[in-house]
């Protein structure tokens, strides 16, 4: 279990499936979900995906839990681990609007990055984000991610083509940040 002052990351398991489906099928989450995520999501499709993605050498998924209430508020994951080149991709979802803009996503990402860089000993992490998702971009930049490229009109959504940024962070950049965040310290407020 990975902990900070306000949240903890615990292994994603079947008890979270129904709430996850509710999160994923909401209009606001669906508008921000990257391509390749089937819609609508069902408990059965989540269970099937979960069964096939249980190899921690290749990927891992965590539920984000509020420590004060025990409430499940979202997910954070790492995928497509390339052990030869020591890199992976990550993704995050805060499920409901009421939990967004409170720093929980940034806190969860810092916990995940700490795990990826200091436990898995990977060198580089990347993600993709729609160019209009300013709230997410701001959170990623707080964690030390840099925009590395723009994929122009790569996704067709809502009747138009959308750009995506590729953002990345290196282990050295994460560790050398002034506000480097590890576990239960108070540097990530």
Structural domain spans, the chain: 2-125
The larger pLDDT score, comparing residue 48 to residue 91, is at 91
For residue 30, what pLDDT is reported? 67
pLDDT digits (tens, 9 = 90+) for 6-19: 999 999 999 999 99
Mean of pLDDT values over 41-51: 79
Q: Per-residue confidence at 34, pLDDT binned at 50, 70, 90?
A: low
Task: Kindly indicate whether the domain formed by 2-125 is annotated with CATH number 3.40.630.30.
Answer: yes
pLDDT on residue 179: 58
Q: Kindly report, residue by residue over 62-85, the tens digit of the pLDDT.
A: 999 999 999 999 999 999 999 999
Contacts of 75 (CB under 8 A, 6+ apart): 12, 16, 20, 61, 62, 63, 64, 91, 92, 93, 95
State the Cα–Cα distance between residues 103 and 107, nearest whole angstrom. 6
Tell me what the mean pLDDT of segment 168-186 comes to.
73
């Amino acid at each position: 279990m990975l902990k900070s002052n306000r949240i903890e990351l615990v292994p994603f398991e079947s008890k979270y499936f129904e709430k996850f489906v509710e999160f994923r099928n909401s209009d606001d989450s669906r508008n921000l979900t990257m391509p390749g995520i089937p819609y609508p999501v069902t408990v059965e499709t989540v269970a099937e995906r979960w069964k096939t993605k249980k190899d921690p050498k290749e990927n891992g998924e965590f539920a984000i839990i509020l420590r004060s209430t025990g409430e499940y508020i979202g997910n954070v994951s790492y995928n497509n681990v390339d052990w030869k080149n020591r890199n992976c991709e990550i993704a995050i979802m805060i499920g409901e609007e009421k939990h967004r803009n409170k720093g929980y996503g940034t806190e969860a990402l810092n916990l995940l990055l700490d795990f990826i860089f200091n436990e898995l000993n990977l060198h580089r992490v990347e993600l993709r984000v729609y160019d209009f998702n300013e709230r997410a971009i701001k959170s990623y930049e707080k964690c030390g991610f840099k925009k590395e490229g723009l994929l122009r009109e790569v996704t067709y959504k809502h009747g138009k083509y959308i750009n995506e940024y590729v953002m990345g962070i290196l282990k050295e950049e994460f560790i050398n940040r002034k506000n480097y965040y590890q576990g239960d310290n108070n540097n990530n407020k």
